[in-house]
Structure 1
Amino acid sequence: MYLKNLLSACMGLWFLVSPWVFGFEAHTNALYTCALLGSLQFVASLMALGKTGKKVWQNWLCFIIGAVFIVVPNVYHLDLMAFFSFVVFGFMTILVNYANLYADHQ
């Protein structure tokens, strides 16, 4: 569960820096959306370290943010590489946080 939350936090950092990586920092709305939601995912993932279960609101928040990041490139008409990155990392965010909602059984 620690690894999953750290992975989610790293994806939040990626979403935070992606406007500068893909060069759409001049598009103000997209920049603010990525900065706000990426930093929110980063902080929520760090707050969820060591926690698992359906009642952990931080995992639910990151799950929803992942779904939003799948839609972001369609709303702001980003280029192909940004589109691919947002869809893949958004889907990975959903999967990782969905896995965090259930306890690890070994």
Structure 2
Amino acid sequence: MTFKNLLSACLGVWFLVTPWVFGFADQTNALLACGILGGLQFICSLLALGKSGKKVWQNWVCFFIGAVYIVLPNLYHWDMMEFFVFVGLGFLTMLVNYSNLYSDMN
């Protein structure tokens, strides 16, 4: 549980810095979306450390943020590299948080 939440927090930090990594920091809406969603994922993942189960709202928030990451490249028409990184890591975000929501330990 703790490892999965830390992984989710690291993914949140990655999404927070992607505008500068991929060079689309000049797109204000994309910058704000990545900043807000990445920061929210980081904070919620840290708040969920050591918790699992269907009633942990922080994991639900991170799960749905992962779904938004999948849609984001389609909204801003990014290049192929950004598209695959966002979609792939969005699915990874969803899978990590889904495994926290429905773990075998409950």
TM-score range, shorter chain: over 0.9
Q: Which residue of 2 aligns with 1:63?
A: 63
Q: Paired residue for 1:46?
A: 46
Number of the residue aligned with 2:85: 85
Match of 1:25 in 2: 25
Q: C-alpha displacement at 1:104, in angstroms? A: 3.9
Q: Using structure 2 for the length normalisation, give the TM-score.
A: 0.97
Separation (CA, whole Å) in 2 of partners of 1:45 and 1:97: 9
What is the aligned-residue identity percentage? 69
**Structure 1 residue 79, shift from structure 2 partner:** 1.0
Q: Which amino acid aligns with 1:22?
A: F
Aligned pair count reads 105
Cα RMSD, aligned residues only = 0.7
| CA distance in structure 2 between the aligned counterparts of 1:39 and 1:74, rounded to whole angstroms | 21
**1:11-61, CA deviations, whole angstroms, 9 ceiling, x for partnerless residues?**
000100000000000000000000000000000000000000000000000
Take 2:9 and 2:81, find their aligned partners in 1: how far apart are those partners? 21
Question: How far is the alpha carbon of 1:102 from its aligned partner?
Answer: 2.1
Structure 1 CA distance for aligned equivalents of residues 49 and 35 of structure 2: 22
| Secondary structure in structure 2 of the residue aligned to 1:55 | coil
Q: Which consecutive residues of structure 2, in runs of 5 or more, have no partner in the other structure?
A: none
The 1-side partners of 2:29 and 2:82 are apart by: 15
Give, in whole Å, the separation in 2 of the partners of 1:103 and 1:25: 37
